[in-house]
């Protein structure tokens, strides 16, 4: 038995013992990696009955549905995730301001770009100026650190989204490579 197969068996057993366990996320991810998309759909749907707010399994569900050729249902699931991300986009604006105040202008710029992309609007110039001024002031006081894995993944996703026109009538905002980046970001944020 390979490591992946062993993990799948362990996750299945844990889920059998506690059907409401959050381990369904790990099981769904392992099954997705193994190409078991029908099983991913079943596991995600069952687990989301207990944990409907969890982002990662909803993304996995959308990706598995896409692999199975159910584009309509996949798009419905993924657009719902996107809608929720847009509603929470203010988090990235706040993180940009905190990064600027903490002396990391690079990170502040990355978070600002992500905010802009998710919010589908420009950050007001006054807010940008505050972030930039805070960045310059903090930069002289504190050394910056290299961006972490999550920041790099989200920045790459923001670059891709920024290069597209994002409108509600657009059939699909996220490409499969965007979904891969999003999956890595979600995974990195949970780990």
- Token pair recorded at residue 109: 């710029």
Q: Which residues of 63-101 are buried (b: 16+ CB within 10 A; e: fewer)?
A: bbbbbeebeeebbebbbebbeebbeebeebbebbbebbb
pLDDT at 168 over 50: no
Our CA angle for 177, 97, 83, nearest 5°, is 40
Q: Roughly how many angstroms between the first and final C-alpha of the chain, as a whole number?
A: 25
Q: Supply the pTM of this predicted model.
A: 0.58
Q: List the beta strands (DSSP E) in the chain.
A: none
Q: Determine contact, residues 131/173, Cβ cutoff 8 Å.
A: no
Q: Is the dihedral of CA 148, 150, 151, 153 positive or negative?
A: positive
pLDDT at 128 over 80: no
Domains and CATH numbers, the chain: 3-87 (1.25.40.10), 90-190 (no CATH)
What percent of the chain stands above pLDDT 90?
45
Q: Tell me the per-residue pLDDT of 31-77, one tens digit each, with 9 for 90 and over.
A: 999 999 999 999 999 999 999 999 999 999 999 999 999 999 999 99
Percent composition of the chain: helix, strand, coil (DSSP 3-state, to 5): 75, 0, 25
Q: Determine contact, residues 188/164, Cβ cutoff 8 Å.
A: no
* Rounded Cα gap, residues 5 and 64, in angstroms: 19
- Return all residues near 39 (Cβ < 8 A) that are at least 6 apart: 31
């Amino acid at each position: 038995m390979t490591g992946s197969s062993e993990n799948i068996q362990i996750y299945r057993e844990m889920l059998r013992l506690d059907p409401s366990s959050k381990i369904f996320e790990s099981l769904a991810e392992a099954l997705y990696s193994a190409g078991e998309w029908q099983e991913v759909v079943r596991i995600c749907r069952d687990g989301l009955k207990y944990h409907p707010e969890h982002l990662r399994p909803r993304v996995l569900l959308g990706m598995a549905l896409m692999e199975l050729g159910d584009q309509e249902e996949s798009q419905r699931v993924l657009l719902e995730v996107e809608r929720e991300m847009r509603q929470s986009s203010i988090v990235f604006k706040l993180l940009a301001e905190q990064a600027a105040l903490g002396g990391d202008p690079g990170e502040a710029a990355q978070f600002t770009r992500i905010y802009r992309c998710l919010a589908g609007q420009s950050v007001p110039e006054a807010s940008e100026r505050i972030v930039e001024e805070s960045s310059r002031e903090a930069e002289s006081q504190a050394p910056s650190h290299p961006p972490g894995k999550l920041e790099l993944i989200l920045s790459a996703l923001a670059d891709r989204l920024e290069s597209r026109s994002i409108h509600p009538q657009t059939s699909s905002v996220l490409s499969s490579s965007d979904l891969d980046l999003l999956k890595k970001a979600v995974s990195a944020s949970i780990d």
